[in-house]
Amino acid sequence: MTRKVPGIKQSEIDKVIRGPKVKAAMMNKAVKVQDYWKSVSPVFDPTDPKEHRKNPEHGAAGDYRDSIVVEVGKDAQGPFVKVKTTDFKRFWIEFGTKTMPKRAPRLKTLARFAKRGST
């Protein structure tokens, strides 16, 4: 006689993890992260006389903010969602340059959602 092992089977856990509820929760969180990241992103104002970026201009106003997207994918460990920016100015805005103050919107977003404190 085989004794039945109590508890939840791994296959049942896997089934729930790959199910629609978890996917919906992941998307919900990703959209929150995306919204916050956009809210702390700088937007170029061509009418501002102090704005250095108009000489020369680097794309249209809001390009960086609008490039922040939620990517849905799947890899060897299963499905994932990723919030990312693809704008070419992302390193300049994040870390600053001679003419652009460091804004660090990505780090601000991480600090907000990394649960280190009540940021």
Partner 1 sequence: MSPSPITPVDPPNDSPEYDVEDIVIAYLAGFGLVPDGHVAARIPENMVLPWVLVTRVAGGDDWIVDYATVQVDSFHGDQTAASTLARAVHHQMRQMRPQLTVELPSGRQAKIYRYATHQTPIYVPWEPEGGGLIMSRYVGVYELDVRLPSIPGY
The answer to whether 95 contacts partner 1 (rule: CB under 8 A) is yes
Query: Exposure string (b/e) for 35-48, b if CB count within 10 Å is 16 or more?
Result: ebbbeebeebeeee
Q: How far is the CB of 6 from partner 1 (least distance, A)?
A: 39
Q: How far is CA 94 from CA 6, 11, 42, in A?
A: 51, 42, 10
* String marking each residue 35-64 x if it binds partner 1 according to CB under 8 A: ------------------------------
Binding interface with partner 1 (CB under 8 A): 91-92, 95-98, 102, 104, 107-108, 110-111, 116-119
